[in-house]
Amino acid sequence: MDVSEAIRKRCSVRQFRNVIIPDDVLHMILEAARWAPSPFNTQPWEFIIIKEKETLKAISKYARYSGYLSEAPMAIAVIVPPINSKFSWVESIGEPGFAAAMAVQNMMLAAWEMGIGSCWVSIEREKVAKILNVPDTHFVLTVIPLGYPETMPSEHDDKLRKKTEDSTHYEMYGKKVTK
């Protein structure tokens, strides 16, 4: 599968088979994250691999709309460590958080290429940080469940996606090219 196909076909998966992801496959997913772009090559991300069912259940209580997290065979918590005062996420996640989000996208695409489903999970970050013993100096961006899909989701309907020209402006906002 090439990257364009993975981008178009990747779907959020919320129901997983109870099958363990082999460590070598997990390593390839983490390697994909490692190659994400970041400001000044700071690589502002750390990962916590979570396989313990009790931990997944505890986190799922603080994952809005994501109770399925407790049934996933595993998950990866994405942590944003402090870089320096130039990149503070105290009031917003800022540059490091955006870079970590790109690492998440790389992981999700790499997983999909290998037949593994994932989904971005919104969490109550402070509560999840306590469960995972994340220092107060760090920021929990998300927890991504990973597993082989119980059933393959339907492919995206291209008709439901905005057309590129509907969200593209030229030189300044509002300037569209007419045909």
pLDDT tens, position by position, 138-177: 989 999 999 999 987 777 677 777 888 888 888 888 888 7
CATH of 3-167, one of 3.30.300.180, 3.40.50.620, 1.20.1250.20, 3.40.109.10: 3.40.109.10
Please check the confidence at residue 178 and state whether its pLDDT lies above 80. no
Please check the confidence at residue 69 and state whether its pLDDT lies above 80. yes
In which band, very low, low, confident or very high, does the pLDDT at 92 lie, cut at 50, 70 and 90? very low
At residue 144, φ and ψ (nearest 5 deg) are -105, 115
C-alpha distances in Å from residue 96, one per residue of 60, 92, 93, 140: 25, 10, 7, 12
Mean pLDDT of the 105-116 span: 94
Least confident of 38-42, 108-112, 121-125, 152-156: 152-156
* Each residue's pLDDT tens digit, 17-59: 999 999 999 999 999 999 999 887 888 899 999 999 999 999 9
**In the chain, where the domains are located:** 3-167
Predicted TM-score (pTM) of this structure: 0.85
Q: What is the DSSP string of 19-73?
A: -PPPHHHHHHHHHHHHTS--GGG----EEEEE--HHHHHHHHTTBTT-GGGGGSS
Please check the confidence at residue 60 and state whether its pLDDT lies above 90. yes
pLDDT at 18: 92
Q: Looking at per-residue confidence, does 74 or 39 come out higher?
A: 74
Per DSSP, 16 falls in state B
Angle at 44 between CA 132 and CA 41, to 5 degrees: 160
Residue 131 neighbours by CB distance under 10 Å: 18
Q: Which residues contact 154 (CB under 8 A, 6 or more apart)?
A: 11
pLDDT at 172: 87
Q: In what order do the strands lie in the sheet with 139-147?
A: 46-50, 74-80, 139-147, 117-118
Rounded percentage of the chain residues whose pLDDT exceeds 90: 56
The mean of the pLDDT values for the chain is 86
pLDDT at 12: 83
What whole-number distance in Å separates Cα of residue 61 and Cα of residue 20? 23
